[in-house]
Every structure is written in structure tokens, then in C-alpha cells.
Amino acid sequence: MNEQHHDERTRIREAIDRLLSGQATVSNGSLTVVALAAEAGVHRMALLKRHADLKNEFYERVRTETTQVPEGETRLRKSVSKLKERVSDLTTENSGLKDRVAHLSLASAVLADRLRTAEDQARLPDNVVRLPKP
């Protein structure tokens, strides 16, 4: 681990402590990765790529040391809730469409049978009368 890497990790840990204590100096003080990166003075992607363990540590500390759920998790939970509702709606719609397909297939079969019967009737000679089906 080089000196710059070690320095970044130290700044990130100090920024975590400041954010959790509510004493942000550079960022807006929200408990997000963006605020943490700004507070630590590192690029957000560096935090997400090189220091993912510190990002996870930050979110874990947010959960344990505060009563607040991380903002990203809140957004994801809302999104998951909306998606589950949408899946439920689509499942109901799909079931209705399956029923409609079954009914239309049956109607098509009945109409095809009637057409065939009418065509068969048309081909019979005039002196032949077809008996009704039992």
C-alpha cells in the first residue's frame, strides 16, 4: 500500500467520524457516499472502487450508530416496493389475458366448426337432408 492510498484511507475514516457526529466541514452532512467522498476530499469513484470496504463500513456504522437508514437504501426500498406492486399488477393482467386467450380460442373453434358444417351442407345434393347430430 503506497502513501497516497494510506492517506486517502485515513481521510475517509476521519470523514466518517465527522459525518456520524454531525460535524461535517466540507459536505452537506448527509449520510451518503457522495457526502463522504466530498468530506474526505477523494473522488467518489475512488471511494467506490479502491475503498469499497470503507464505504461498507460507513453504511454499517450509519445503521448501528444512528437510527437513520442510509439514503441509498431508502431509495432502493421504495423502488423495490414499486416494482413488487408492478409485478403484482402484471401478474393479474397476465392471468386475465390467459383467460381471454382461452375463450377466444374456444370461440374460434366453434366458428370454424360452424363454417365447416355450412360448407358441408352447401356441397350436399339438393335431394339429401342431413340428420342432426345427437
- pLDDT for 21-68, tens place per residue? 888 888 888 888 889 999 899 988 988 888 889 988 988 888 888 777
Q: Identify which of 15, 123, 8 has the alpha carbon closest to the alpha carbon of residue 61.
A: 15
Band the pLDDT of 88: cuts 50, 70, 90. Answer: very high
pLDDT of residue 71 exceeding 80: no
pLDDT, one tens digit per residue, over 6-23 is 888 999 999 989 988 888
For residue 76, give every residue at least 6 positions away whose Cβ sits within 8 Å of its Cβ, in sequence order, or none: none
pTM above 0.85, yes or no: no
Band the pLDDT of 1: cuts 50, 70, 90. Answer: low
Question: Structural domain boundaries of the chain?
Answer: 3-68, 71-124
* Nearest-10 Cα torsion for 97, 103, 106, 112: -90
H helices of 41-70, where? 44-49, 52-65
